[in-house]
Structure 1
Amino acid sequence: MSFPVRSVLGASRSPLLRGSLSVRLSSTAAKQTTLKERLAELIPIQQENVKRIRAEHGKKSFGPVLVDQVYGGMRGLPALIWDGSVLDADEGIRFRGKSIPECQDLLPKAAGGSEPLPEGLFWLLVTGEIPTQEQVSQLSQDWAARAAIPEFVEEILDRCPPSLHPMSQFSLAVTALNHNSAFAKAYQDGISKKDYWGPTFEDSMDLIAKLPNIAGRIYRNVFGQGKLPAIDSTKDYSHNLASLLGFAEDPAFVELLRLYITIHSDHEGGNVSAHTGKLVGSALSDPFLAYAAALNGLAGPLHGLANQEVLIWLRKMQSKLGENPSDDAVKEYIWSTLKGGQVVPGYGHAVLRKTDPRYTAQRTFALKHLPEDPLFKLVGQIYNLVPDILLEAGKAKNPWPNVDAHSGVLLTHYGLTQMQFYTVLFGVSRAFGVAAQLIWDRALGAPLERPKSYSSAAIDQIFRDKQ
C-alpha cells in the first residue's frame, strides 16, 4: 500500500507554517521571540488547522489495511500523526518539509562552523520556521542553564557497575528525572487540559538540556575518562557535549556532533523509539518517562545498534583483507557474507529507495575532513560495489546505504571507539524529535493511543464469514 508522496509532503507545509512565517518576520524585526513565546503564538493557529482538517477529511478513508500488514509489524500502515518529519521514499527525510541539504544551508551555524546547529533544528521541528542566529544563541544559553542533573541522579549513575550497558544506565537516569517533572506536578495540582503543553514544554527543554551531562557521566564512568568539566554557557549544545565526552579540543569533532545530532534527530513517528515515546506520552506520562521508554526501544539490536554491526563487519573485513584491498577481494568478501546467510549491514531501508541523504551528508563531511582515513576509504569502496551485488543476489528492494553505514566510521576516526556508547549518542539526538512531537501532542489534545487488536482466529473467521 502506498500514498502519493507529494501530497504527504505538501501537508507538512501547512497553512499554519506558511501563514505564521510572515508573522514571525514582522514581529522579530523589533524583538526576538523565545521558542516558548513563538510556540504560544502558533498553537491556536494549529489547533484551528487540525479542526479544519478533521472537519473536511475526518470521515474519509486513508487507505486499506492488509492482513499482511497486521502480521508484518504494521509496516506501512498509516496510523500516526507526526508533524516534525516525513520520510519520502525517493528524497529521504524532510524536517518540516526541508531536506537535509536545505537544513544544512538554512539553519544557523556556530562562528567559523559549516554544519547546522541542532538548536536551530529543534526550533524548526517545533515551529516549522528557520530561527535567527540570536534565537538559536538564546536557546543554547537556555539549555546550558538547565543542564545540571540532580545529585541523586549523579549518584545513581556513579553506582552503576561499568558492566551495565550504557543504554540501560541512560534509561535509568532519564526515568529518574521524572522526580522533578513540571508536568507531573501540574497534573497532580489539577492543571487544565488546554494548558498541558506549557509544563510539557518545560520538561522537554529540561530533558534535552540534561542529556549531555547524563551521556558524559556515563561515558566517563564506563570508559574511565576522569571528572566531568562544567557546562560552558557561552558554547553551543554540541560543543558542550563534546567537552563532556573529552573531545572538544578538536573543532572537527564538534562539527561532526552538530551534523550527527541534526541528521539523527527525527525520522517520522513509526520507528520504535519515536513511536514508543508518543505512545507512552499519550497516557499523559511526562516527557522523562516517555523518553526513557523510547530509549529502551532504541537499545534493541534491530533499531539503534545497527551502526555497531556495520563497524564490526568493516573491522573483520579489514582484518582479513588488509587496509587497501582490491575490488575483487572486497566483492568476494561481500558475497561470502551473503552466502553465509547474513545481510550486508548498513544497506537497505524499509522505506527509502535510494541512497539515504543522511549517509550522503556524512560522506560529504568525511571527504572534507578525513579523505585518507582507511576505514572511510573502505566504506567508499563498498558503496561502489554493494548495490550491484545486492541487486544481482536479489537480496534487497533498496540496495543503497543508510545512515548506519557511515556514522561509526566517523566517530572512530576521532577516537570515540567505544561502540557500546554509540547508541547513547543516537539517544541524545532522537530526543529532539520525540520531545517536539510530545509538546504538540499535548497542545492539540492528542488522545490515548488504543488501536484495535485481533487474534489469528478472529482474522481467519472474518474472511470465512465473507466466503
Structure 2
Amino acid sequence: MFGLTVRSTAALRQANFRAFSSQISSLKERVAELIPAKQAEIKEFRDAHKNTVVGSVTVDQIYGGMRDIRGLICETSLLDAQEGIRFRGMSIPEAQAALPKAPGGEEPLPEGIWWLLLTGEVPTAEQVKQVSAEWAARSTLPKHVSDMIDSMPKTVHPMSQLSAAVTLMNSDSSFADAYNRGVNKRELWKYAYDDSVDLLARLPVAAAKIYRNLYHDGKLGAEVDANLDWSANFARMLGFNTPEFDELMRLYLTIHCAHEGGNVSAHSTHLVGSALSDPYLSFAAGLNGLAGPLHGLANQEVLRWITALKDEIGTYEPTDEQLTEFLWNTLKGGRVVPGYGHAVLRKTDPRYTCQREFALKHLPDDPLFKLTSQLYRIVPDVLTQHGKTKNPWPNVDAHSGVLLTHYNLTEMNYYTVLFGVSRAIGCLADLVWSRALMFPLERPKSETTESLKAIVAGKAE
C-alpha cells in the first residue's frame, strides 16, 4: 500500500518486504552485472580519445544559457531535435509498444521505464510486477516527514512542500550512512540505488498527502494496495478510482520521467549528486528547479492562457479568425504562446503526440481538447509568420493540463508535483549510474565579462 502503513503496522510492512526480497533483488543484481562492462568501455574510450575535441563554444553560447554545449554524460536518455526523447535508444512510441502494461491496460507501466533506464533492457511483466511489489512494500512514509507535511500552512506551494518532504527523508539515507562509515566509493552506487528505491516508493505517498491536505479533508483517498501498480496506487491515494484515470497516470508518469541530462531538474540532481550528496538532497534540488515557470510550471501556464483566451473571446469554440487575432495580440504584447517551442526540439514533441492520441481515444468531444486541437492547427503558422520562434510546434505542456482537467484534477498549482513524481524516475536512474561510473565532482570554469573580452582579444591578435 502507498499509505502511511502497508496493512496496519510497520512490522507487517517489514515482513512483506522480506517476503518479496528473494524475488525482487534481481534488478539491483542485474545493474551490478552491467557495471563492470560499462566502466571498462568508458575507460577504453577515454584513454583512446581523451584529447579529442568534440565541439567549440561561442561567446553567444556562454551568455545564452550554455545551449548546445556538450558538457556532461547522461546514459539513460538522449534528446534528438527531430525525433524527440529516446529512453535507452527507444522512442516514445517504441516504449509504449514494448513495455509491460497493467492487466487490461494499454499504457506502459512506469515501473518498466525504471527498469529500462537502469539496464537498457525491456523487462518482463513478472519483473515489473516485482518492482511494483517492492515499491509498495517500502512505501511507508517516516512519521516525522508525515508530521511535517501536516504542519504546513495551506499558503505553502505544493512544490515547496514536496521539496521539503524529500529533503527531510534524508534523515535515514543509506547512502549518507555508507559514506560516513567509509564505504569504498566503488560500492556507493548500491546505497544510491537503495535510497532511490525508497524515495520512489515514498514519493507518491508524500505527494498525495500534500494534495489531500491542501484541497480535500487531509485523509488519503486510500492506503497502498500491494496488488496494484505504482500509478494506480497513486491515483487511489489522490482520490481517483477509474480505469481511465489509472491509464492516464501510467502514461503521464512514464513520458515525463526523463528528457536527457541537460534540463534544469535533471542537471540540478546530477550536479548536487556529484558532490556526493545523497539521492534525497540531490533530487530535492531537482524539484526546486522543476518548480520554475520556465521548466515544470509551464503546463499550468498553458491552462491559465487558455482560460484567458476563453474569457476574452467568450467561448471554448472560437472561430479560426478569432483565435488567430488572439494569438497575434499575445505576441504583439511581448508575451509568448505557452506550450509551444522547445530549447532542443524542432518538431512536435512526441510526448504531446501520445497525449493527443490518448485524448482522441478517451475524450474526443471534450471542449478543452477540441480547443487545444484547434490551436494545434493554427499556432504553428502564426509563430512561423512571427519569425522569432525556432520551433513553432507544441511541447508536452500544451496538452497535459487538458487531460488532467477532464478527469477533474483541476488544481493547477498541483500539476508540477505530478511532474516531479514522474521526473524522479529519470533523475534517480541517472544518479545511480553516475555513482556506479564514479563520475567526479562537476566544476565548470566561469568567466567575467572582462576576462572573456580579454580571451576574445587574445584570439583576435
| TM-score, L = length of structure 2 | 0.93
1:87 aligns to 2:79 (yes or no): yes
The aligned amino acid for 1:372 is D
Residue 323 of structure 1: how far off its partner (Å):
2.2
2:89 to 97, 118, 130: 97
The aligned amino acid for 2:53 is S
- Secondary structure of the structure 1 residue equivalent to 2:85: strand
Match of 2:302 in 1: 310
Match of 2:15 in 1: none
Task: Report if aligned partners of 1:197, 1:440 keep a CA contact under 8 Å in 2.
Answer: yes
1:258 aligns to 2:250 (yes or no): yes
Task: Report if aligned partners of 1:347, 1:402 keep a CA contact under 8 Å in 2.
Answer: yes
2:230 to 234, 237, 242: 237
Task: Report if aligned partners of 2:346, 2:390 keep a CA contact under 8 Å in 1.
Answer: yes
- Secondary structure of the structure 1 residue equivalent to 2:79: strand
The aligned amino acid for 2:414 is F
Task: Report if aligned partners of 2:77, 2:260 keep a CA contact under 8 Å in 1.
Answer: yes
Residue 225 of structure 1: how far off its partner (Å):
3.9
2:146 to 149, 154, 158: 154
1:365 to 328, 340, 358: 358
Match of 1:435 in 2: 428
CA distance in 2, matches of 1:120, 1:325: 41
Task: Report if aligned partners of 1:114, 1:255 keep a CA contact under 8 Å in 2.
Answer: yes
Q: Mark the CA change 1:100 to 1:64 in structure 2 (over 3 Å): closer, same or farther.
A: same
2:389 to 384, 390, 396: 396
Task: Report if aligned partners of 1:277, 1:293 keep a CA contact under 8 Å in 2.
Answer: yes
- Secondary structure of the structure 1 residue equivalent to 2:410: coil
Gaps of 5+ in 2: 1-22
Match of 1:49 in 2: 41
Aligned length: 436
Any residues of structure 2 matched to 1:40-439 within 5 Å, and which? 40-228=32-220, 229-247=222-240, 249-321=241-313, 322-439=315-432
Residue 319 of structure 1: how far off its partner (Å):
2.3
The aligned amino acid for 1:430 is R
CA distance in 2, matches of 1:37, 1:427: 27
CA distance in 1, matches of 2:316, 2:428: 42
The aligned amino acid for 1:411 is L
Task: Report if aligned partners of 2:78, 2:260 keep a CA contact under 8 Å in 1.
Answer: yes
- Secondary structure of the structure 2 residue equivalent to 1:64: coil
CA distance in 2, matches of 1:78, 1:295: 23
| 1:95-133 CA-partner distances (Å, limit 9, x unpaired) | 000000000000000000000000000100000000000
Q: Mark the CA change 1:263 to 1:146 in structure 2 (over 3 Å): closer, same or farther.
A: same
CA distance in 1, matches of 2:31, 2:380: 44
Gaps of 5+ in 1: 1-30
Q: Mark the CA change 1:32 to 1:208 in structure 2 (over 3 Å): closer, same or farther.
A: closer
CA distance in 2, matches of 1:463, 1:304: 36
CA distance in 2, matches of 1:105, 1:225: 39
CA distance in 2, matches of 1:253, 1:295: 24
The aligned amino acid for 1:409 is V
Residue 451 of structure 1: how far off its partner (Å):
0.7
Q: Quick one: percent identity of the two aligned structures? A: 60
Match of 1:18 in 2: none
Task: Report if aligned partners of 1:168, 1:296 keep a CA contact under 8 Å in 2.
Answer: yes
CA distance in 2, matches of 1:407, 1:57: 43
CA distance in 1, matches of 2:215, 2:155: 10
Residue 33 of structure 1: how far off its partner (Å):
6.8
Residue 315 of structure 1: how far off its partner (Å):
1.1
| 1:176-234 CA-partner distances (Å, limit 9, x unpaired) | 00000000011111101110111110001111111100000000111124411211111
Q: Mark the CA change 1:32 to 1:428 in structure 2 (over 3 Å): closer, same or farther.
A: closer
Task: Report if aligned partners of 1:35, 1:123 keep a CA contact under 8 Å in 2.
Answer: yes
CA RMSD of aligned residues (A): 1.1
CA distance in 2, matches of 1:180, 1:42: 28
Residue 341 of structure 1: how far off its partner (Å):
1.1
1:452 aligns to 2:445 (yes or no): yes
Residue 32 of structure 1: how far off its partner (Å):
8.7
| 1:406-449 CA-partner distances (Å, limit 9, x unpaired) | 00010000000000000000000100111001101111111000
The aligned amino acid for 1:376 is F
Match of 2:20 in 1: none
